[in-house]
Amino acid sequence: MSSTVVGMAVGAVLAVVALTLGFWAFVVVAVAIALGGLVGRIVSGDLDVRRLLDVLRGRRSSS
């Protein structure tokens, strides 16, 4: 599935939630989608957790 299709699906889900359940439900669903995407990238090996933690701590390296 392409990034465009996934983005459109996520946008549609967020729009439906915002219209039916309100702003705070929209925020909760958006955070859950972001966390799910992060976990998916970690599990698939596309994201290195150690590098991510180093960046969040401010320890950036060029290697």
Percent helix, percent strand, percent coil in the chain, to nearest 5: 80, 0, 20
Number of domains making up the chain = 1
Residue 18: predicted pLDDT = 93
* Domain membership flag for residue 62: no
pTM metric for this prediction: 0.72
DSSP state of 46: S
* Domain membership flag for residue 28: yes
- The answer to whether 17 and 26 are in contact (CB under 8 A) is yes
User: What is the domain extent for residue 32?
Assistant: 3-57
* Domain membership flag for residue 63: no
* Domain membership flag for residue 22: yes
pLDDT digits (tens, 9 = 90+) for 25-44: 999 999 999 998 888 888 88
